[in-house]
């Protein structure tokens, strides 16, 4: 298969995939097409009636005929009004439903993608693909079929009728069509590439806006407003240049077609006038002809408009397909097992891992955690503690080695059952925009109000919530901005209490709490840990003394392991870290 054939095959497949979204909206689409056909028929009928009136009733001063056909025109205009309403309303309804379905499909697909995908893509860029791109796809889905249908029917109908009036004059018009089509095709590719470039720049500027707004407090704290303005201006300038380039292509497209249209009108008027001079065409026929020329050019304008809309819409759809074609690397095996009746035994057998584009973060980690035991992971920053927990949840896939839960390779388990088994309180707490209740309920969406309150009490946040005017229904702002760091962390902990998983991963879960609240949380976590396996990541070593075993990670390797007292006696890495923290605390 040649490169050209591959390109054609790819375009056909893209179009087939686009048309497949019409299946669920077929009734509305058919209604839209029928109404559009009616409009095309009526648009062809109006010049016919006008010609008859000018050729028969007006010269004969037939008032009854003039009034009759005048009323007929009025009735047809009312019918056209109704059909136009159907096209504008139900056609757009079909378009927005198709857009909604695409957006839902894309969002669902993104939910399946790996964490690494989101590490490498900016939020604003993804938002642009979900919102902006698909809006133009919706416009194409609505206007595309009706524009093509109306243009085709009017072009064929007007050509047949014009042949009946005067063949030479019609041939003159038809001779212009290939030039107009050639020009449209010639400029279409350039315009399509220009609008695709605009979409890419739109995604960039959306990313910059999202990033700047999210970090507005940091920008203000460093008094970097001017820096943010300058950075945004660069993206804004690139966006403007892309738009200007697209408008340049569009201007060439439309101005060229308008020039050809005006040229054709002039040619018809001059040649028609000459035929009238020769007596081969009367004034009524020439007037009707000029009206029909307008009807003849109208579908060509529709087709050219459709071409622009097609390029914009398909540019968005191609970006939609591009994102939909990205397959997650971490998926369930065909016969994956659902993890049930979990005891909580965890094994890391010779595990190594490195993020793409960087060196190894973990090297040959071997570790066995017995059920219902608490394991603390300590060490300097960047040692691989959080990464180890991410691998346990299969946010990333190990490069080599095996991770097991209850003697099952986690790669043989369903992702849903694996992650339902593990409660994870991250170091960087994320709360959703909404109420306190919404965020705690995220741990178990079907939980009762009593269970929510109990989880909040266990997380030492209930008393604070009751002091708020709206209690659990208090809106906490985007990312929980209306709460303090400690309050946010306790809400996140309450979320895990509600989930009540057999395995807990606490990544600096008490790092943002004051000493009094931390002591309360430690007691609560100790109660929760009973009968559960706990992985505790901590930099403050005073919080890990009661762990059954402490693992010291340095540069991605286990350098020490044992109980607090055992490691202190060794006077190794852990003892030095612990003693240095005790010295600083004095």
pLDDT for 398 beyond 80: yes
Residue 10 — very low, low, confident or very high, per pLDDT cuts 50/70/90?
Answer: low
Same domain, 463 and 366: yes
Same domain, 202 and 263: yes
Look at residue 331 and tell me if it is in a domain. no
Most confident of 48-62, 171-185, 403-417, 510-524: 403-417
Same domain, 316 and 365: no
Q: Closest by alpha carbon to 172, among 291, 257, 275?
A: 275
According to DSSP, the β-strands at 503-507 and 533-537 are parallel
pLDDT value for 476: 84
Q: What H or E segment, with its residue span, contains residue 210? A: helix 167-214
Same domain, 95 and 138: yes
Look at residue 5 and tell me if it is in a domain. no
Residue 217 — very low, low, confident or very high, per pLDDT cuts 50/70/90?
Answer: low
Q: Which domain holds residue 400?
A: 346-585
The C-alpha atoms of residue 344 and residue 418 are separated, in whole angstroms, by 11
pLDDT for 456 beyond 50: yes
Look at residue 329 and tell me if it is in a domain. no
Between 405 and 253, the more confident residue is 405
Look at residue 335 and tell me if it is in a domain. no
CATH of the domain at 513: 3.40.50.300
Instruction: Determine which of 96-110, 123-137, 388-402, 546-560 has the lowest per-residue pLDDT on average.
Output: 123-137
Same domain, 256 and 389: no
pLDDT for 105 beyond 60: yes
Contact 277, 256 (CB under 8 A): no
pLDDT for 11 beyond 70: no
| Domain boundary pick from 266, 291, 324 | 324
Tell me the per-residue pLDDT of 278-319, one tens digit each, with 9 for 90 and over. 888 787 777 777 776 666 667 777 776 777 677 778 877 888
> What mean pLDDT is predicted for residues 441-447?
85
What's the structural domain count of the chain? 2
Any idea which residue has 């738009």 for tokens? Answer: 243
Instruction: Encode 101-116: b = buried (16+ Cβ within 10 Å), e = exposed.
Output: bbbeebeebbeebbeb
Look at residue 93 and tell me if it is in a domain. yes
The C-alpha atoms of residue 40 and residue 49 are separated, in whole angstroms, by 15
Residue 6 — very low, low, confident or very high, per pLDDT cuts 50/70/90?
Answer: low
Following DSSP, what letter does each residue of 90-107 receive, concatenated? HHHHHHHHHHHHHHHHHH
> What mean pLDDT is predicted for residues 236-259?
81
C-alpha distances in Å from residue 505, one per residue of 16, 410, 496, 518: 46, 16, 10, 17
> What mean pLDDT is predicted for residues 135-141?
79
Tell me the per-residue pLDDT of 32-43, one tens digit each, with 9 for 90 and over. 888 888 888 887
Residue 510 — very low, low, confident or very high, per pLDDT cuts 50/70/90?
Answer: low
Residue 3 — very low, low, confident or very high, per pLDDT cuts 50/70/90?
Answer: very low
3 state SS of 280: coil
Lookup: tokens for 192? 């399509």
SS (H, E, C) 128-143: HHHHHHHHHHHHHHHH
Look at residue 49 and tell me if it is in a domain. yes
CATH of the domain at 39: 1.20.1560.10
Q: Which residues contact 222 (CB under 8 A, 6 or more apart)?
A: none
Tell me the per-residue pLDDT of 72-98, one tens digit each, with 9 for 90 and over. 888 888 998 999 899 888 888 888 888
Same domain, 193 and 282: yes
Same domain, 302 and 361: no
pLDDT for 585 beyond 50: no
Residue 9 — very low, low, confident or very high, per pLDDT cuts 50/70/90?
Answer: low
Same domain, 451 and 518: yes
Half-sphere exposure for 453 (CA within 13 Å, toward CB)? 6
pLDDT for 537 beyond 50: yes
Between 27 and 283, the more confident residue is 27
Following DSSP, what letter does each residue of 491-541 receive, concatenated? HHHHHHHHH--SEEEEESTTTTS-HHHHHHHHHHHHHHHTTSEEEEE-SSG
Following DSSP, what letter does each residue of 420-438 receive, concatenated? HHEEEE-SS----SSBHHH
Any idea which residue has 């056209």 for tokens? Answer: 80
pLDDT value for 520: 66
Mean pLDDT estimate for the chain: 81
pLDDT value for 82: 92
pLDDT value for 515: 67
Distance of CA 529 to the CA centre of its chain: 39
Same domain, 136 and 269: yes
3 state SS of 112: helix
pLDDT for 271 beyond 60: yes
According to DSSP, the β-strands at 408-409 and 533-537 are unpaired
pLDDT value for 250: 79
> What mean pLDDT is predicted for residues 412-428?
86
Tell me the per-residue pLDDT of 568-580, one tens digit each, with 9 for 90 and over. 888 888 888 878 7
Tell me the per-residue pLDDT of 328-383, one tens digit each, with 9 for 90 and over. 888 888 888 998 888 889 999 999 998 876 778 899 999 999 998 889 898 877 78
> What mean pLDDT is predicted for residues 204-224?
68
pLDDT value for 584: 47
* DSSP class of 475: B
Beta bridge partners, 409, equal: 404
Between 195 and 507, the more confident residue is 507
Look at residue 334 and tell me if it is in a domain. no
pLDDT value for 488: 83
pLDDT for 404 beyond 60: yes
Same domain, 288 and 382: no
The percentage of residues in the chain with a pLDDT greater than 70, rounded to a whole number, is: 89
pTM for the model stands at 0.71
The C-alpha atoms of residue 70 and residue 82 are separated, in whole angstroms, by 19
The C-alpha atoms of residue 131 and residue 106 are separated, in whole angstroms, by 10
> What mean pLDDT is predicted for residues 412-417?
90
Same domain, 300 and 362: no
Same domain, 299 and 248: yes
pLDDT for 517 beyond 90: no
Backbone angles phi, psi at 477, to 5 degrees: 80, 175
| Domain boundary pick from 294, 324, 354 | 324
pLDDT value for 104: 87
Look at residue 300 and tell me if it is in a domain. yes
């Amino acid at each position: 298969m040649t490169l050209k054939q591959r390109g054609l095959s790819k375009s056909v497949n893209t179009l087939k995939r686009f048309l497949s979204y019409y299946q669920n909206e077929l009734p509305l689409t058919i209604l839209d097409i029928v109404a559009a056909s009616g409009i095309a028929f009526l648009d062809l009928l109006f010049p016919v009636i006008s010609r008859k009136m000018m050729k028969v009733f007006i010269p004969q001063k037939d008032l009854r005929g003039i009034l009759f056909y005048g009323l007929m025109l009025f009735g047809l205009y009312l019918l056209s009004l109704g059909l136009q309403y159907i096209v504008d309303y139900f056609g757009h309804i079909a378009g927005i439903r198709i857009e909604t379905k695409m957006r839902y499909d894309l969002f669902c697909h993104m939910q399946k993608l790996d964490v690494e995908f989101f590490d490498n893509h900016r939020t604003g860029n993804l938002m642009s693909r979900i919102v902006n791109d698909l809006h133009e796809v919706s416009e194409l889905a609505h206007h595309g079929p009706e524009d093509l249908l109306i243009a085709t029917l009017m072009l064929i109908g007007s050509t047949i009728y014009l042949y009946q009036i005067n063949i030479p004059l019609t041939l003159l018009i038809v001779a212009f069509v290939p030039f107009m089509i050639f020009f449209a095709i010639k400029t279409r590719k350039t315009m399509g590439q220009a609008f695709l470039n605009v979409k890419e720049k739109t995604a960039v500027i959306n990313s910059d806006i999202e990033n700047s707004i999210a970090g507005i407090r940091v920008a203000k704290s460093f008094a970097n407003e001017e820096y943010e303005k300058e950075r945004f201006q660069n993206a804004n300038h690139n966006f403007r240049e892309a738009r200007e380039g697209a408008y340049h292509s569009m201007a060439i497209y439309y101005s060229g077609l308008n020039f050809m249209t005006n040229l054709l009108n002039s040619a018809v008027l001059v040649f028609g006038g000459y035929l009238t001079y020769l007596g081969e065409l009367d004034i009524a026929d020439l007037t009707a002809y000029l009206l029909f020329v307008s009807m003849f050019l109208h579908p060509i304008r529709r087709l050219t408009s459709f071409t622009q809309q097609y390029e914009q819409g398909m540019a968005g759809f191609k970006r939609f397909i591009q994102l939909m074609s990205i397959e997650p690397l971490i998926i369930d095996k065909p016969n994956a097992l659902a993890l049930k009746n979990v005891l909580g035994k965890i094994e890391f057998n010779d595990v190594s891992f490195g993020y793409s584009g960087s060196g190894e973060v973990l090297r040959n980690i071997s570790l066995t955690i017995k059920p219902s035991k608490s394991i603390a992971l300590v060490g300097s920053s960047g040692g691989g503690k959080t990464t180890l927990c991410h691998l346990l949840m299969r946010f990333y896939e190990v490069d080599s080695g095996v991770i097991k839960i209850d003697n099952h390779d986690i790669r043989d388990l369903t992702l849903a059952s694996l992650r339902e088994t593990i409660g994870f309180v991250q170091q960087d707490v994320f709360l959703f925009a909404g109420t306190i209740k919404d965020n705690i309920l995220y741990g178990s969406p079907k939980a009762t109000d009593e269970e929510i309150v109990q989880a909040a009490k266990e997380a030492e946040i209930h008393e604070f919530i009751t002091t708020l005017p709206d209690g659990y229904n208090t809106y906490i702002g985007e990312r929980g901005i209306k709460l303090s760091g400690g309050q946010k962390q306790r809400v996140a902990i309450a979320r895990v209490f509600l989930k009540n998983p057999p395995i807990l991963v606490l990544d600096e879960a008490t790092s943002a709490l004051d000493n009094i609240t931390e002591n309360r949380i430690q007691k609560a976590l100790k109660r929760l840990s009973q009968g559960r396996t706990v992985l505790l990541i901590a930099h403050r070593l005073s919080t890990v003394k009661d762990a059954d075993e402490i693992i010291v990670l340095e540069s991605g390797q286990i350098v020490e392991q044992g109980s607090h007292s055992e490691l202190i006696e060794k006077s190794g890495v852990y003892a030095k870290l612990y003693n240095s923290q005790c010295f600083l605390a004095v």
